[in-house]
Structure formats: C-alpha cells, structure tokens
Amino acid sequence: MNFELISVSANSRARAGVLTTGHGTIETAVFMPVGTAGTVKGVHTRDLKDDVKAQIILGNTYHLYLRPGMDVIEKAGGLHKFNGWDKPILTDSGGYQVFSLGDIRKLSELAAKFQSHIDGSYHQFTPEGVIDIQRTIGADIMMAFDECTPGDADYNYAKKSMELTHRWLDRCFEQFNKTEPKYGYQQSIFPIVQGSTYPDLRRLAVAQVKTFDADGYAIGGLSVGEKEDVMYEITEVVTADLPVHKPRYLMGVGTPENILESIDRGIDMFDCVMPSRNGRNGMLFTRDGKINIRNKKWENDHSPIDENGTSFVDSYSKAYLRHLVISNEMLGAQIATQHNLAFYLWLVKTARQKIIEGVFSSWKNEMINRLKHRL
RNA sequence: GGGAAGUUUCCAGAGUGGCUAAAUGGGGCAGACUGUAAAUCUGUUGGCGACGCCUUCGGUGGUUCGAAUCCAUCACUUCCCA
C-alpha cells in the first residue's frame, strides 16, 4: 500500500492524497460508506460505484463472522467476490461491537467474549482470531482489534482501556506478520489510537502506535458521546503527532460538518452510518442543510429532492420520496440512502478539490454555515 | 314480520357508577440517529386565557352527591329465523 500526499492546505492541516491498494487507488479525503453485513444497505454495487462514486466501502468482522460465517466467505473467494465489489474494502475489527454490544460481552486480557445478537450463542474474539478473520474476508485494509473506550470514561478506565488496546495491538501485528493474504493481493493493517478525551493519553497512544510502521493510522473512541469541541480538540492533538506521510482515518465520523472540520484538522478517511441509517429513517443531507422528508411541509413539494445533487435519484420529487418513506416502501429508503451517500462523496471530493486549489478554508467556512440549516 | 347483538375520542378497539379526556394498536404530527443488535427508537395526538377550566363516549329524557358505564325512549348498524 502506498500513500502519496498531493497537496496540503497552507493555513490548516487539510490534505489531499492518493492511496494505492490492491484494488485500485483512493483519492483522499475520502468517505467510506458502511456496509456492515457485506452490503451498503439498499444500494447496488453498480450504483455505489457509478452513481454514488464510492471508492472504498466497509465491512464488519463481527457481523460477517456470525453470518454468513467464514466458511462461506472463504469458499466465495473473499468478500470482494462474494458481494461483487471489486474496489477496496476496509473491515472494522469488531472493536466497536465490543463497545456497542456492551451488555452481552465480557473483556479479559486474552479475549473479548460475547454472545451473538442473532442467536445468543457464545463466541470470543482474540486479536489473533480477528486478524485471521480479516485475512479470510480479504479486506484491503484491516483494523487492529481494540476496545472502543466510551466517551464518558474516567481517566483511570481510559488509561487501562488504552493499555489493553496496545497489548492487543502487539498481538495483532504479530499475527499479521506471520500470516499471508489468501487471495493474491496485499492487505494492510491500521492501528487504532485510543485514549478517550485525555490529551496526554492520546499522545501516549500515538507514540505507541507509531512504533509500528503501519500503512495508515486510525483514531478511534471519538463521536462516542463526548462533546463536539472535545472531539475536534482530540483530533488535533492526535494528527499533530501522527506521521505526515501516512493516511489518517477518523473512525465513525460523522456529520457533514464533523467531516469538514476534521479534514481541516488533518484527517484523510472517514466512515459513518449516518448517511445510510439516517437516510433510511427519512433524513436527507444536502449542501443547503438537512431535510426531514417525512415532514408535512413536503407533502406537495414536487420539486427535485436536491436540485444540486449529483445522483440520478435526486430528480425524484420531495413529495414522492415523502410518500415512499411514509408508506414504508423500500424504494424510499433506497433513494434516501443513495442520495445521502452521493452527497457525502461529493462533499469530500469537493473538499479535496478546494484543498488542491488552495481555497479550502474559506470554502469550508461557507459550507458549514449552509449545512447548519434545517430545511 | 319475529329475535339477538351493537353504536366510545381520526380508525380499530378496551372500558360496564367516582382512580376516565378515557387502556392498547393503527394512522397523524414532531424529534432522535456518528467504526450499524436500527427499513429503528422516542415524544405527542379533544379544546383553552393549561399546575386549572370547558366540551366529549349515537340522539333525547331520566335515576344518582356523581353516568361512557344504570333506566326509558328514538335513530341507525350487523347477524339469525320467517
């Protein structure tokens, strides 16, 4: 994997780059649609590629491991073959599930033990096992197995949690180094910086993570309940110390505003369920602000969903989409998801362009003002 | 022609003397959603000069301190027998 910085903003840390993987190149800053179960819910790979213009999508270790299971994925020849997506894939390690499935798991030094949310069966993830699973999935970018520390963790818990993540990181790399890709292309592993909302812990974490010469570095444990200005502050602390010549991935972020602010602070890669989940739930993101398409005011608005939109679905009318969403028609969720993803991809692509043109900051400020609106 | 059951707030449907502006579901309206246990979840849904008041349970008239709940009568609906 190779990362080349094309341009860096003069008056901020914003960067434009090109990341090269075994499944092609990725122009950063990039937004990666989330496809937990091997599918970006409701969107065909064709539309994802040609219409949304996604460059890379996510899959999830925990979900794919439980269903369909590694046997099926391996027999398919990896996730790319299984779901028909021939561009890069990044898999999350299951660290977030350790966090979000909190009630049905137990952490120990050795492993995270958990109960399947599907059938209650008992399983455990070790750092080694998680690497093996991601080898089988065939992710271009695999994530280290971490504990995603909750946003309200006290200092002591955050420190212990971070240290566990670091010990797990050692094991992840050890396993990574003694195993081989299964499908003939290179795989990379990104460590994850934890340390919660404490700058000194975050600095320690960066230092620790940097001891591995990884292809890229992720920031985890943000947008998990802490205040937004704290998230920005921590992002700044972390990007200040990360290697300049490697991509930085801010996990799970965020709103369009969050993404622009984070690009400004030196982030290259993003993923978030927000455009897809909120889309399914009737919320649209546009460059002029947010729309709750279920609201009565759109009942007879026969204008396009988004006059400035880049997706073909944007020519459907608001009134029609409202009808679909309210009637619980599956096409409503599909259109809204596709629109939102296309918007997110447009947003980061435009940010990249503005960085290259050297006008990112002014554009960002203007954009954030528009995005705040509620239509 | 005879008999039976029923008529409740937008709909369906509980409630059979005071704790009932009235369960629950649907629908409506609004909100939430950040490495997806989410096509999910939450709030609200008679009116108002709102910690109180007013009007509601087919119509009318009664009984009672008090009625959606009991009685009489009228209207309508459904079912059964001719």
Any strand B atom closer than 7 Å to A335 CB: no
Any strand B atom closer than 7 Å to A296 CB: yes
Any strand B atom closer than 7 Å to A281 CB: yes
Chunked in runs of 10, what are the mean pLDDT values of chain A (375 residues)?
95 96 97 97 97 98 96 97 97 90 84 91 95 98 95 94 97 97 97 97 98 97 94 97 98 97 98 98 97 95 96 98 96 98 98 97 96 93
Distance, in Å, from the CA atom of A233 to the CA atom of A218, rounded to the nearest integer, reads 16
Is the confidence metric ipTM above 0.95 for this complex?
A: no
Distance, in Å, from the CA atom of A271 to the CA atom of A197, rounded to the nearest integer, reads 20
Any strand B atom closer than 7 Å to A115 CB: no
Contact between residue A277 and residue A252 where contact means Cβ atoms under 8 Å apart:
no
Q: Residue A313 carries which DSSP code?
A: G
In the prediction, which pLDDT does A98 show? 81
- The secondary structure of A324-362, three-state, reads HHHCCCHHHHHHHHHHHHHHHHHHHHHHHHHHHHCCHHH
- DSSP tally for chain A: helices H, then strands E: 14, 17
Report CA(A146)–C1'(B24) in Å, whole number: 45
Give, in order, the Cα–Cα distances in Å from A188 to each of A21, A24, A191, A370: 9, 14, 10, 37
Distance, in Å, from the CA atom of A39 to the CA atom of A34, rounded to the nearest integer, reads 8
Q: Within 7 A of a protein CB, which nucleotides of strand B?
A: 28-41
Contact between residue A223 and residue A117 where contact means Cβ atoms under 8 Å apart:
no
In the prediction, which pLDDT does A175 show? 98
Length, in residues, of chain A: 375
pLDDT of A8-54, one tens digit each? 999 899 999 999 999 999 999 999 999 999 999 999 999 999 999 99
Beta-bridge mates of residue A271: A32
Report CA(A343)–C1'(B10) in Å, whole number: 38
CA angle A25, A27, A32 (to 5 degrees): 90
The first and second tokens of residue A8, run together, are: 């860096």
Report CA(A354)–C1'(B80) in Å, whole number: 81
Report CA(A324)–C1'(B20) in Å, whole number: 38
Say what the alpha-carbon torsion angle A268, A55, A228, A219 is, to the nearest 10 degrees.
-50
